[in-house]
Amino acid sequence: MSSLYERIQEERAKYPADAESAVLPALRLAQEEHGWLSPDTLREVANALDETPAYVKSIASFYDQFHLAPVGEHLVEVCTNVSCAVVGAQQVVEAFEGELGCRCGETSADGKVTLRAVECLGGCGWATIVAVDHHYRTHVSAGDVPAIVEELRGA
Amino acid sequence: MAPDIVFANATTELAEYEQAGGYSALAKARAMTPAAVTEELVTSELRGRGGAFFPAGRKWSFVPSKEQLPKPHYLVVNADESEPGSFKDNEILSRVPHRFIEGCLITAHAIDCENVFVYIRGEYSGPYEILVGALEELKDRPEIRGDVTIVVHRGAGAYICGEETALLESLEGKRGQPRSKPPFPAVSGLYASPTVVNNVETITTVPPVIAMGGAEYAKLGVPNTRGSRVVSVSGNVVNGGNFEIDAGTSLREIIYDLAGGIPDGRALKAVVPGGSSTVILTADEIDVGYDFDSLAALHTAMGSAGIVVLDDRCCIVQLGVRFSEFYEHESCGKCTPCREGTRWLTAILRKLEDGRATQGDLDLMLDVCDRINGKCLCPLGDSDAIIVASYVAKFREEFQAHIDQGGCPFGGSSSLDHVIAPVAMHTHSPVTQVPA
C-alpha cells in the first residue's frame, strides 16, 4: 500500500483548481490509518498538504468526526436526536453503558469500544439508529445491545 | 395514487437502469441547447428540495455565460442531509444512484460545466459506497460521462455545512462557516467562480422532468408546489420511512394512511412538518395540504420534508431543550447572536424543565429569540429562535405549568426525559486518557 503522503497527493490531484480542498479527505485518510489525529499525525498531514499544523488542527477541531484524542478500536455512535429519542434512544445509550462499563463519551476499560451520543444521523424513520464503525444499524432497541457488544468484543 | 418519479424502477445497477430507459433523458438533454434544458426546468416549476424551495430553473439561469465572465462553472450537489427528521437523500442515493448521476450530468450540460462536486455528509458511509460504486460502473462509458468529472467529497460531521455557503467553504478546505451574501454562489461560489448548488432530490428529479417534459411535470401537484415530493416520516408512527407523495397530499393522510398512524393507542400531540427548523403544528392543524402555500398559511414550511410525529407522551419543553441543544452544538460560532443565543435558549429551557424558572425567564427566553432572529448570516440561529417561540405560542399552558408546578408536569414519564445530547458530552474533550 502506498504511503499516507502519496495517498494525500492523490486526493489533492482531484482538486486541480485548488489543492487545499483536500484537507478533509487528507484528515480522513490519516485518521483511518492512525485511529485518531495526534499532534504528530496533524504535522504529517500538514506537511503533505503544504499547510501549517495550526491550520490543519483548526479544521480538524471544527468537525465532529475527527478525534483529537485516542478512541477505542471500535466506535459506537447512538443518535439521540428527537426522532430516535421518542422511541427509546436513551435506553439504548444506557444499555451500551451497562454492557461496556463506561459512560457515554468514554471508552471501555479494555480499549475495545468508544461510546458516543451523536446528533441526527439521517435515518429517523428507522430509529433508533446506531452507527457501528460508521455503518448504520437500524431499529436498534436496548435488547439488541448485548449482541452488538459481544460482536465487537469478538472482532 | 402516489406518483413514482424519483424512486421509479429503483436499482443500483447500471444495466438494469439502462434497460428501464436510464440515461435516455441525458441523451435527450444533450441534443438540446443548454438554454433549452434550463427553459424546460423553468416550465416544470421544479423548486429546490433542500429547504429554501427556490425555483431550480431560475437558479440555473443566474449563472453568467463564459463570455460575460470567463471562469469555469461548477455544479455542487448538497448531499449533506443533516436536518433532524430528514432522511430522504440517504434513501435516494442508496436506491437510485444512477438517476442521481444522470441528473448531475444533465445539469452540468445545462450550466456549461465540466466539474461536479457531490458534498456528502461524512456519516453517510452506506450511500457513499453505493454512489462511488455507481460512478465506477461509468468508468468504461465515456459516452455517458462526456467531459464531466464527478468528485464525491465527504464531509466530517457538521450540520452547518448543509448551508450552501458554509458547504462551499468546507469544500475549499476551510472551516464550514457561512459567507455573507451577496455575492451569491451563481456568480461567485466555489473558488470564486459561478456555481450552482442543488439538493440531491432536486437533481434526481431532473431526468424525469426532461424525459416527460416540463409541461407534463407541472401538471402534477398543486399551484406553487408542482410534481412529487419525497417526505420522511419519523417519530411516533407505526411505519416510519420515506414516501413519495403528490404535492398537496394532506398531512393527516401522510401520517395516518402512509405511515400507519400513531402506535400503542396513543393520541397525536404535535407534528414538526419539515425538519427540526420548522414551526410546530398541533394535532388540530394536520388537515393541511403538504405544499408551500397551505403550510405557509399556517406560518410553517415543508423545509426539507422531515415530518416528525409526536404523541401525547412528549413534553414540549423537553422538545425545545433537545432541539435547542442541537442548534447550540451545531452553531459554527461565527455570528454572536447565534453562538451565544442558542446557548442561552438551551439554558433557559433547561431551567424551565428543572422547575427553577420564574415568570420573567419565559419573557427573557422570548426576548432572546427576538435578538437572534434575523440577525445572523445564515438561518441556523434563526431556526432555534423560531421553533422555540412557536412552541411557546402553541403550548403556552404547558410552559406555564412548568413554572407554576416548579417542575415538569410529566414527572419523568415524558418520551424525551433525560436524553443525553452531544453538546453535554464535550465531544472534543479527551474520550480516553491520553497516554503519557
* Chain A residues closer than 8 Å to B263 by CB: none
**Which residue ranges in chain A fall short of pLDDT 70?**
none
Cβ contact A96:A149 at 8 Å: yes
Question: Is residue A68, in this structure, part of any structural domain at all?
Answer: no
A121: Cβ–Cβ under 8 A, 6 or more apart, which residues? A77, A79, A129, A131, A136, B123
Asked whether residue B321 falls in the same domain as residue B379, the answer is yes
Work out the pLDDT band at B436, boundaries 50, 70, 90.
very low
- The CATH number linked to A108 is 3.40.30.10
The average pLDDT across B215-221 equals 95
Same domain, A97 and A138: yes
Residue labelled with grid coordinates 459512560? A103
Mean pLDDT of chain B: 96
- Which residues constitute the domain of residue A15? 4-60
CATH code assigned at B45: 3.40.50.11540
pLDDT for B429 beyond 90: no
Together in a domain, A83 and A26: no
- Tell me, yes or no, whether A56 and A81 share the same domain: no
CB contact under 8 A, B125 and A15: no
**All cell numbers assigned to A23:** 484537507
Q: Which residues of B touch A80 (CB under 8 A)?
A: 322, 419-422
Q: Is the pLDDT of residue B428 over 60?
A: no
H-only helix segments in A38-104: 39-49, 53-60, 82-85, 89-100
What confidence score (pLDDT) does residue A129 get? 98
| Residue A94 shares a structural domain with residue A140 | yes
Amino acid present at A72: G
Chain segment B17-65, per-residue pLDDT in tens: 999 999 999 999 999 999 999 999 999 999 999 999 999 999 999 999 9
ipTM for the predicted complex comes to 0.97
Cβ-defined contact of A119 to B159 (cutoff 8 Å): yes
Residue B349 C-alpha cell reads as 429551557
Whether A23 is in a domain gets the answer: yes
> A114 in contact with B at a CB cutoff of 8 Å?
yes
Single out the residue in B188, B203, B219 at which a domain terminates. B219
Which stretches does DSSP call E strand in chain A? 74-79, 113-118, 130-132, 135-137
For residue B119, what are the β-bridge partners? B78, B153
User: In terms of domains, do B41 and B95 share one?
Assistant: yes
Whole-Å CA distances, A97 to A87, A105, A114, B399:
18, 10, 10, 32
Burial A31-64 (b: 16+ CB within 10 A, else e): beebebbbeebbebbbebbebebebbbebbebbb
Phi, psi of B226 (to 5 degrees): -95, 155
Q: Are both A92 and A123 inside the same structural domain?
A: yes
Is the bond preceding residue B149 a cis peptide, omega within 30 degrees? no
Assess whether pLDDT exceeds 60 at residue B252.
yes
The answer to whether A147 and A107 have CB atoms below 8 angstroms apart is: no
Q: Which range, of B7-21, B228-242, B365-379, B412-426, averages the lowest pLDDT? A: B412-426
pLDDT of res. B427: 41
A114 neighbourhood in chain B, CB within 8 Å: 431-432
Same domain, B171 and B68: yes
A83 and A145 both lie in a single domain? yes
Q: Give the pLDDT mean for B279-299.
A: 98
Which CATH number does the domain housing residue B386 bear? 1.20.1440.230
Distance from chain centroid for Cα B109: 25
- Tell me, yes or no, whether B4 lies in a domain: no
pLDDT bucket at B424, cuts 50 / 70 / 90: confident
Percent of chain B with pLDDT over 70: 97
Nearest Cα residue in chain A from B314: A86
Per-residue confidence at B3, pLDDT binned at 50, 70, 90? Answer: confident
* Assigned domain for A15 exists: yes
pLDDT at B359: 97
Residues A16, A78: one domain?
no
Cα–Cα distance measured from residue A36 to residue A61, given in angstroms and rounded to the nearest whole number: 12
Confidence category of residue B432, pLDDT binned at 50, 70, 90 = very low
pLDDT bucket at B431, cuts 50 / 70 / 90: very low
Give the number of domains in chain A.
Answer: 2
Tell me, yes or no, whether B193 and B226 share the same domain. no
Residue of B126, B156, B417 lying closest to A136 (CB–CB): B126
Q: What is the pLDDT of residues B315-349, one digit of tens each?
A: 999 999 999 999 999 999 999 999 999 999 999 99
pLDDT of residue B1: 56
How sure is the predictor about B425, in pLDDT bands with cuts at 50, 70 and 90? confident
Residue B189 shares a structural domain with residue B266: no
Question: pLDDT tens digit string along A76-86?
Answer: 999 999 999 99
- What is the pLDDT, as a whole number, of residue B426? 55
Domain holding B250, by residue range, is 222-311
Provide the pLDDT for residue B435. 43
Task: Show the cell assigned to A137.
Answer: 444499524
Answer whether residue A21 is part of any domain. Answer: yes
CATH of residue B288's domain is: 3.10.20.600
- Same structural domain for residues B231 and B174? no
pTM: 0.96
- Residues A44, A80, single domain; the answer is no
Domain match, B368 and B292 both:
no
Residues B45 and B61 in one domain: yes
A65 located within any domain:
no
Question: Which grid coordinates belong to B258?
Answer: 402512509
B231 and B121 part of one domain = no
The number of angstroms, rounded, from the C-alpha of B226 to the middle of its chain's C-alpha atoms is: 18
Judge: B429–A71 Cβ closer than 8 Å, yes or no: no
Q: Is B196 exposed, middle or buried (0-12, 13-18, 19+ CB in 10 A)?
A: buried
User: Which of B311, B330, B354 delimits the end of a domain?
Assistant: B311
3-class DSSP state of B42:
helix
Residues 6+ apart with CB under 8 A from B426: A105
**Does one domain contain both B161 and B229?**
no
- B90: contact with A, CB 8 A cutoff: yes
- For chains A and B, count residue pairs whose Cβ atoms are closer than 8 Å: 200
Please identify among residues 37-56 of chain A the ones whose CB lies closer than 8 Å to any CB of chain B: none
Q: What is the number of domains present in chain B? A: 3
| Same-domain status, B397 and B336 | yes
- Residue B433, pLDDT > 50, answer no
Pair B287, B325 in one domain: no
* Chain A residues in contact with B176 (beta carbon < 8 A): 62-63
Together in a domain, A17 and A85: no
CA–centroid distance for B379 within its chain: 12
